Amino acid sequence: MARSLPGKAALATVGFCVIAFGILAADPSHAAEKWRHGIVQAKGDSAFLFMAAKGGFAAKHGLDLDMVQFKGGTTPLKALIAGELDSFEASPVVAFPAMLRGADVKFIGCDWPGMTYTLFANKKIKTPADLKGATIGVSAPGSLPDLFTREALARAGVPENTLKFANAGGSADRIKAIIAGVVAAAASSSEFEVDADRLGYKALLRGDSTPQFVKVCMMTTSKTIATKRKALEAFLAASMDGLTFATKHRDAAIKLAKEVAHLKPNDRTAEFVYDEAIKYKAIHTDLAIPRANLQRTADMMLRHHALAKKLDVSKFIDDSARKAALKQVTLKK
């Protein structure tokens, strides 16, 4: 489990300068409060995830923001419930089953609700219909890759009962399975499109094929909302400022992504992910919570038998801290 470097050390690591960003330092008379936020392991999307922590915005809002990285979404959910994290962000599909079981988890904002995800396929596959009878690579049942694949193909007229599904491992492993001919198609992070032509696979269906499927939201617990309210508001305000800055400063954002994810100089995934997020307006800089689409996402899980019964998502949304944080932001959209 890796951690980001907090405060000034993080700024030095990515080669950023507070003066260059035009950001005022936090009031030194107030000690920064610690906030631990969990994310899925840094990659090409790091510019948006880390800008609050590493761009000086958390410090500006009086927060010592510790970014804690995990390989998947279920582990930080468990850490949140156990009190080891103050918040985390991941696909809502990770949290819905726990909510159905009565877990104390609340949606507090959605920074990346737009579904930037892709179903990749062997180049011999011309249309989604060509996949009937084929083996499709997914990860765990009910996971984002699994549900996106089923929903995207169903919307394309290919019902899941005409397909075979196989657990093909993590994102990179699923792509390798396509290249090796083990599976005909697999869903993965859209950044893998960068190497598609060179490695012999193609993008078959993109995220806009499931427009109501929410990709990422921020979550915490009722206890944290009650006991660390001002710190929560500061975290959300810093996140808003960081996202706004990132969406307006492409070069700085891409530089940060490459530094945080340790990408090679010729690796173009950070550029691809950034441009895709901007093109599809996938980022909500105000962290607005798409209530209707969250409910539709839960209902979609029910259709695909990933939830045992219908979930009323409204019971697990607390928008009060986000609305208060909007009054503290310093950067305009």
317 strand-pairing partners: 107
Cα separation, 74 vs 262, whole angstroms: 24
Mean pLDDT to the nearest integer, 115-138: 96
Give the model's confidence band at 333: pLDDT under 50 very low, under 70 low, under 90 confident, else very high: confident
Higher model confidence: residue 258 or residue 29?
258
Same fold yes or no, 7-114+213-326 and 117-209:
yes
Q: Yes or no: say if 67 and 50 are a contact pair by the CB < 8 Å rule.
A: yes
Q: Which residues have CB under 8 Å from 161's CB, separation 6+?
A: none
Q: What is the pLDDT of residues 47-84, one digit of tens each?
A: 999 999 999 999 999 999 999 999 888 899 999 999 99
Tokens of 302: 């029910």
The whole-chain average pLDDT of the chain stands at 91
Domain boundary assignment for the chain: 7-114+213-326, 117-209
Q: What is the pLDDT of residue 12?
A: 38
Q: What is the pLDDT of residue 14?
A: 39
CATH topology of domain 7-114+213-326: D-Maltodextrin-Binding Protein; domain 2 (3.40.190)
Cα separation, 310 vs 125, whole angstroms: 35
Q: What is the pLDDT of residues 237-289, one digit of tens each?
A: 999 999 999 999 999 999 999 999 999 999 999 999 999 999 999 999 999 99
Q: Which CATH number describes the domain made up of 117-209?
A: 3.40.190.10
pLDDT of 2 > 80? The answer is no
pLDDT of 301 > 90? The answer is yes
Q: What is the pLDDT of residue 31?
A: 73
Q: What is the pLDDT of residue 20?
A: 37
Cα separations in angstroms, 76 against 33, 54, 248, 260, 316:
21, 21, 30, 19, 18
Give the model's confidence band at 30: pLDDT under 50 very low, under 70 low, under 90 confident, else very high: low
Higher model confidence: residue 22 or residue 150?
150
pTM given for the model: 0.88
Q: What is the pLDDT of residue 32?
A: 85
Mean pLDDT to the nearest integer, 287-313: 97
Q: Tell me, letter by letter, the H, E, C secondary structure of 74-91.
A: HHHHHHHHCCCCCEEEEC
Lowest pLDDT segment from 11-25, 64-78, 109-123, 191-205? 11-25
pLDDT of 156 > 80? The answer is yes
Q: Tell me, letter by letter, the H, E, C secondary structure of the chain.
A: CCECCCHHHHHHHCCCCHHHHCCCCCCCCCCCEEEEEEEECCCCCHHHHHHHHHCCHHHHCCEEEEEEEECCCHHHHHHHHCCCCCEEEECHHHHHHHHHCCCCCEEEEEEECCCCEEEEEECCCCCHHHHCCCEEEECCCCCHHHHHHHHHHHHCCCCHHHCEEEECCCHHHHHHHHHCCCCCEEEEEHHHHHHHHHHCEEEEEEHHHCCCCCCEEEEECHHHHHHCHHHHHHHHHHHHHHHHHHHHCHHHHHHHHHHHHCCCCCCCHHHHHHHHHHHCCCCCCCCCCCHHHHHHHHHHHHHCCCCCCCCCHHHHECCHHHHHHHCCCCCCC
